[in-house]
Amino acid sequence: MQMNPIRRIGALATAVVLAAAMAACGSGGGVPSDPSQVSGKVTMWIYPIGADLEKTWWQPKVAEFRKKYPKVNVDVVVQPWANRDEQLTTAIAGNKGPDVVYLIPDQLSQYADTGALADVTDVISSDRSDFRDNALQAMTYDGKLYGVPLLMSVTTTMVNKKVMQAAGVTSVPQTWDDLLAAAPKFKAKGYYATYYIGDPKQTLNQTFYPLLWQAGGEVLSADGKKCTINSAAGLKALEFVKKLIDNGYTPKDALTAAQQAETSPFAQGKVGVTISTASADLATYKLSKENYQVGPPLKDVKSVGYGTVGGLSVLQSSQNAAAAKAWVQWVTSTAQMKEFDKSRSYFPPRKSVGSLYASDPLVGGEEKYLDQMRPGVISPQGRALMDLIKPHLQAALLGKVTPKQALDAAAAEVDALLARS
């Protein structure tokens, strides 16, 4: 059963005490420069990022690592995605957590807030500048680095070339104004200009948040203590979406019910421009890559899109912190990162890896926008506050309240949550 977000935070909060208690005998220090001085057993929890590939990938990698660190044993455990937070918090509480775990930004901030994670700044002290700034920011909480980036994703603008041609739209929209100018042309030919999904099951990371950022807005204040979604930028973003809906440029029924991939307007080739899409999604919708072209994330005052970052964290409770950090350092090195990301069709956080997909027009096109990606809201309450905001946005888009009323109500609820945290 899916855990209520508030209860989930409560469970993680309980782990604060436990993690803090374990911290007294746990992680500390950096990675010794001499591998012969590093010893111990490291257990890493990873998830099926490469589906079945994960089952065979790690064993030869551990053998390769041991050639450099012969006194370190590494046990890689591939855990299921389902209920991963409940599993990890339970393990930490029972003092049975791994030494290293794969986390994404909204998870990382929750565990870092409980004191469960070790600062891993020392792992990249010699080559920090090789990592993209946005990747490091995604793994940073309260000024400390709690994960070393291993992979990145990109969502950006993508157009259906056949629909564009049919509508007489000759260039990929770069701005909100470009999209609004092209929208009547799509509609006149029986197509939707875009596809905004607003049902409550959708993540705002790929719907409203990118538009908010493009307008220059933020979900939270810089100190994370105040909701700012009801700013002038937030209002502008919500009014932009409402304009798309009210004019029939995006399907209204996508606001109220989750649509099946196979029968959605996007899968049926009825959408000209998607505004936060990854080319990997085309396989889900059984669409041909050759018919699509990517463009930069849309821009109002700036061009920015959503892309997650996955990284490796060391638990504060690890009894072999130096060995754990040596493993993380090795896995996230340029050579290993290149192999890992290429095999799983992700993008590299390290600049020295270079382009992995230059020969692929679609994926290579996405790769160009890596530095324009943001990972969502870095806050221990990131998931919970998203659930508070969604129904208010939906109410405005359905015409039940004004955009200003919706955003003010959402901000009030988020502020109340933050005040209780």
Instruction: Output the pLDDT for position 18.
Output: 46
CA–CA distance, 388 with 377 (Å, rounded to integer): 14
pTM greater than 0.85 (yes/no): yes
Which SS3 state, helix, strand or coil, does residue 137 take? Answer: helix
CA–CA distance, 137 with 308 (Å, rounded to integer): 11
Instruction: Output the pLDDT for position 257.
Output: 80
- pLDDT, block means (10 residues), the chain with 421 residues: 39 44 50 90 95 90 97 96 95 95 95 96 96 98 97 97 97 98 98 93 94 98 96 98 97 84 86 94 87 97 98 97 97 98 96 96 96 95 95 96 98 96 83
Residue pair 258/142 in contact by the 8 Å Cβ criterion: no
Instruction: Output the pLDDT for position 28.
Output: 53
Cα distance between the two ends of the chain = 24
Residue pair 308/153 in contact by the 8 Å Cβ criterion: yes
CA–CA distance, 311 with 146 (Å, rounded to integer): 9
Residue pair 147/108 in contact by the 8 Å Cβ criterion: yes
CA–CA distance, 111 with 78 (Å, rounded to integer): 20
